[in-house]
Amino acid sequence: MAGHLDINDLHVRFGKATILQGVSLSVRDKPLSVVGRNGMGKTTMCAAVMGMVPASGSITLDGRDILGLNTGRIARQGIALVPQGRRMFPSLTVHEHLLLVAQRGTPPWTIDRIYETFPRLAERRKNGGNQLSGGEQQMLAISRALLMNPQLVIMDEPSEGLAPVIVDHLIEVLRTIAAEGMGLLLIEQNLRVATSVADEVSIMVTGRIAATVDAAELARDREMQNRYLGVSHGH
């Protein structure tokens, strides 16, 4: 069952700089995408949910308050993060990375299923993290999160730097995750990914959620894209 995430009036300050200014959003049984230009606070919001930065306000998972818990406890509550930048261990092979997080028994996501979903990782299973392409590193980062079999996975810019054919595969995987009942909070700059995976898209502008709109409407409305994002569809 998907974990229900509720963020209410979330504030994050670094020194005198206010990064998040009262962010509120909810992830229920369907994926939610959050889009916005660089520097709007999207990654900071992910870090606040995972307990990586001090924050005020309210964050709950299935009604349980998780604000103020450390990152390890939040992960054990059922949230996994695919961070921006992938963060591989250069000395560990692909298979060793997966063994670190694989769970016993027969959960929905196993190492065998990862290799079926990402055949390229199966081919590269003996290669070290520093021997992988950017796309392969992203597949591995997503796989580590899935192997935790969380109630909710947060993905921060998963399509960044990926070739279009890999982005198409990523969209398929994200749709499968959602269809199987795992909660998904997707942070994206690629509008095609954001609007292909989620029915609703929240738009972040200068540390606030400026609007939450129908994904199909945002995909069609060039004026709205330019007003909030300064980009055109698919960029």
In this structure, are residues 154 and 81 in contact, taking their beta carbons and an 8 Å threshold? Answer: yes
Residue 230: the pLDDT is 77
Residue 98: the pLDDT is 95
- 234 inside domain: no
Write the secondary structure of 116-133 as one string of H (helix), E (strand) and C (coil): HHCHHHHHCCCCEHHHCC
- 68 inside domain: yes
Q: In angstroms, rounded to a whole number, what is the distance separating the alpha carbons of residues 170 and 162?
A: 9
At 77, which CATH number?
Answer: 3.40.50.300
- 235 inside domain: no
Residue 200: the pLDDT is 96
Q: In angstroms, rounded to a whole number, what is the distance separating the alpha carbons of residues 221 and 124?
A: 41
What amino acid is encoded at 145 in this protein? Answer: A
Mean pLDDT by 10 residues, the chain (235 residues): 89 92 94 93 96 96 95 94 82 93 87 95 92 89 94 94 90 94 94 95 95 95 88 48
- 109 inside domain: yes
Q: Which of 114, 85, 90, 120 is nearest to 101 (CA)?
A: 114
| Element housing 61 (H / E) | strand 56-61
- 165 inside domain: yes
- 233 inside domain: no
Q: In angstroms, rounded to a whole number, what is the distance separating the alpha carbons of residues 205 and 63?
A: 27
- 160 inside domain: yes
Residue 182: the pLDDT is 94
- 120 inside domain: yes
How many Å separate Cα 129 from the centre of its chain? 20
What is the count of structural domains for the chain? 1
Strand partners, 79: 152
Strand partners, 18: 13
Residue 105: the pLDDT is 78
Domain membership of residue 88 as a residue range: 5-228
Task: Give the burial class of 40: count Cβ atoms within 10 A of its Cβ; 0-12 exposed, 13-18 middle, 19 or more buried.
Answer: buried
Strand partners, 23: 10
Read off the pTM: 0.92
Strand partners, 12: 20
Residue 235: the pLDDT is 43
| Element housing 13 (H / E) | strand 5-14
What amino acid is encoded at 172 in this protein? Answer: E
